[in-house]
Structure 1
């Protein structure tokens, strides 16, 4: 531990003032002066001589880091984890008795499925929750969906599945996506992620039916959870209030700070939905953080990069309400792990953990059961 770290630990909570989620004031230990500490994307910047002239990490910035770490640990202990577990067979589907035994396999043209017998009602049954009457196995269906949202085209997915003995067409893969994305979306809408108080919003252009349109998105800062989205015809004049309202429905709250670029429709939506000069809970809108030319929206740009990579392979969408957009959102939030949050999924960071080696199957099973 160096000298600055030792001095930072001597700074008490009453010497730190929290202005908002990214601005702090720290009292000098040698005088009555207060220094401004601003949180940027990569580090803290302080107005003290150490940071301003020597370009070092000062004790005031270290004290803020220590304070935030303590606050984070307290919030984690308060956070209630929601766990989505795989569905286990533990009872008869007819009489709900737990007195069941395995009774061989039921074979069809493509795969075999475990059958059970109830010792009480003597009836045989099989359970394939979410994949009833499907010719392909749950593993083949979810593997195809994972390949697609990982960047492959529909035709490349169909060709890849042939290597595993699964003969399907690109239209079959699209039908699976359409069926199961809608099912999962209806189920996941009932779960509230525990997001932070700082959100980003931005837009990216897409081709839909050959026309240039825009996909607006709302992203949580801490967990990188993709909260809501909206497809629009224009960039600066489109009313994006529906996305703002949807974000509050999904998160169950408003943020304290909203970061966006200079688009005037974001400012108008914020003013009409989240701002009131007489309300203490009003949302602060930062149109940009102009601190050494740092706009501080790298996390949002990373999401835009994911969407762009997927859109390039598709070469455009067929319709505005395509299940592909919802599928990208589910894949980003619940399936894909992110190195920026220590290999977790955004949903796990937001208090919603999906168990099982195949998260697709876990979500589909629970969505079908509920």
Structure 2
């Protein structure tokens, strides 16, 4: 019998609802284009009284723990990356979600930054390399900041990463942004940068699970929901 992840157990100490209810609400929030009030109404139809602010609190507490668990069982990505950034509104201002996919469309990594500049892009590349290994090639658009960031990364390396600036090759990652933006849209913007970062990590996790990026044992592939719930165990 599986035991609960210690991090999840610690978070649940003061949450007075069954784990199944909490995980279901959190998964629905990051998997589908639903607002918190939609979730409140959906649970009420099932005879469970949950305030929308409570669901938000569950997500903020649980998702960092689930992200750590997912990182441990994420499949390796390819060595050819396509990187781009998209816009996310936080407290009424545009912030920048840096993302990359490999040539098969698998998500490499993601990072929310307040600015769109060389420092932000370099921070993204450093995080992605630390988590996923060094790519052979990175394709970017015509952004001078992204190019400068890659040159800075290469300056520290004996074998440089090949850089391609070909806009049409980045269609794969630009299309992949849409799946993330589709879930974000009903949220009508984030109120806080930290909350945005946490919720976006949950959306990215669920998106990666849906794309088959989570390792599992057994011949039969579990459903995306079962894979998400298994992160708590």
- TM score, norm. by length of structure 1: 0.54
Q: CA deviation at 1:314?
A: 1.2
What SS does the aligned partner of 1:321 have? helix
Matched, 1:300 2:173: yes
Q: CA deviation at 1:288?
A: 0.5
Alignment gaps of 5+ in structure 2: none
- TM score, norm. by length of structure 2: 0.83
Structure 2: distance between partners of 1:259 and 1:329: 21
- For 1:331, which of 200, 206, 210 is the aligned residue? 206
Indicate conservation of the 8 Å contact 2:118/2:148, yes or no. no
Q: CA deviation at 1:190?
A: 4.3
- For 2:131, which of 237, 245, 250 is the aligned residue? 250
Indicate conservation of the 8 Å contact 2:206/2:228, yes or no. no
Q: How many residues are matched?
A: 221
Matched, 1:158 2:158: no
User: Residue by residue, what CA displacement relative to the aligned partner does 1:202-245 show, whole Å, maximum 9, x if unpaired?
Assistant: 111121111122211122222512423232323x5554111111
Q: CA deviation at 1:309?
A: 1.5
Matched, 1:229 2:111: yes
Structure 2: distance between partners of 1:174 and 1:240: 29
2:229 aligns with: 361
1:87 aligns with: 2
2:17 aligns with: 136
What SS does the aligned partner of 2:100 have? strand
The structure carrying a bigger strand percent of its residues is 1
Distance 1:166 1:193, change over 3 A: same
Q: CA deviation at 1:306?
A: 1.8
- Superposed, 1:38-53 pairs within 5 Å as none
Distance 1:229 1:134, change over 3 A: same
Distance 1:134 1:321, change over 3 A: closer
1:284 aligns with: 162
Structure 2: distance between partners of 1:284 and 1:268: 13
- Superposed, 1:67-106 pairs within 5 Å as 87=2
1:216 aligns with: 98
Matched, 1:185 2:67: yes
Distance 1:266 1:324, change over 3 A: same
Structure 2: distance between partners of 1:129 and 1:361: 14
Indicate conservation of the 8 Å contact 1:226/1:333, yes or no. no
Matched, 1:259 2:119: no
Indicate conservation of the 8 Å contact 2:105/2:173, yes or no. no
Structure 2: distance between partners of 1:239 and 1:183: 24
What SS does the aligned partner of 1:296 have? helix
Q: CA deviation at 1:312?
A: 1.8
- What's the RMSD between the two structures over aligned residues? 2.6
User: Residue by residue, what CA displacement relative to the aligned partner does 1:69-124 show, whole Å, maximum 9, x if unpaired?
Assistant: xxxxxxxxxxxxxxxxx8269xxxxxxxxxxxxxxxxxxxxxxxxxxxxxxxxxxx
More relative contact order in 1 or in 2 (CA 8 Å, sep 6+)? Answer: 2
